Amino acid sequence: MITLNINGRSHQVDADPETPLLWVLREWLGLTGTKYGCGVAQCGACSVHVDGAVMRSCQIQVGTLGKSKVITIEALSPDGLSHRIQKAWLDHEVPQCGYCQSGQIMAAAALLKAKPNPTDADIDEAITNICRCGTYPRIRAAIHAAARGAKA
Partner 1 sequence: MGKIENLGRRAFLATASATAGGMSLSWSFPADAAAAGVEVGIWAVIHPDDTVVIRIARSEMGQGTLTGLAQLVAEELDCKWSKVKTEYIAPEINFAKNRAWGDMSTGGSRGIRTSVPYVQKGGAAAKAMLIAAAAAKWNVPVAECSSADSVITHKPSGRRLRYGEVAEAASKLPVPADPALKPQAEWKIAGKGVKRLDTVEKLSGRLVYAIDVKLPDMLNAAIAQCPVFGGKLKSFNADKIKAMPGVRHVLRVDDVSVAVVADKWYQAKTALAAMPIEWDEGPNAKVSSASIAAFLKEGLDAPQAGVGHKYGDAAGAIAGAAKKVEAVYATPFLNHATLEPQNCTAKVSDDGVEIWVGSQNGDASLAAAAEAGGVKLSQVKVHKHHLGGGFGRRGQQDYVRQAVLIAKQVPGKPIKLIWSREEDMEHGYYRPITQAKMSAGLDAQGNVTGLHMRISGQSILAYLLPSRMENGVDPVQFQGLIPSEFGYLAIPNLLVDHAMRNTHVPVGFWRGVNVNQNAVYLECFIDELAHAAGKDPLAFRRQLMAKNPKQLAVLNAACAKAGYDKPLPKGVFRGICQYTGFGSYTASVAEVSVSAKGELKIHRIVAATDCGIAVNPDQIAAQVEGSFAYGLSAALYSECTIENGRVVQSNFDSYEVARMADMPKVETVIVASGGFWGGVGEPTIAVAAPAVLNAIFAATGKRVRSLPLKHHDLKKA
Q: What does the binding site for partner 1 look like in residue numbers (CB under 8 A)? A: 16, 19-20, 23, 26-28, 30-40, 42-43, 45, 72-74, 76-77, 79-81, 86, 89-90, 93-102, 105, 123-125, 127-140
DSSP 127-151: -----SS--HHHHHHHHHHHHHHHH
Kindly state the DSSP code that residue 109 receives in the 8-state scheme.
Answer: H
Least distance between partner 1 and beta carbon 117 (Å): 18
CB of residue 150 vs partner 1: minimum separation in angstroms?
A: 18
Cα 152 from Cα 133, distance rounded (Å): 32
Query: What is the pairing mode between strands 47-50 and 2-6?
Result: unpaired
CA distance 103 to 15: 24
Considering the complex, state which of residue 54 and residue 73 has its C-beta at the smaller distance from partner 1.
73
Report the residue number, 40 or 152, with the smaller CB distance to partner 1: 40
Q: How far is the CB of 127 from partner 1 (least distance, A)?
A: 5
Q: Between 9 and 67, name the residue whose CB sits nearer to partner 1.
A: 9
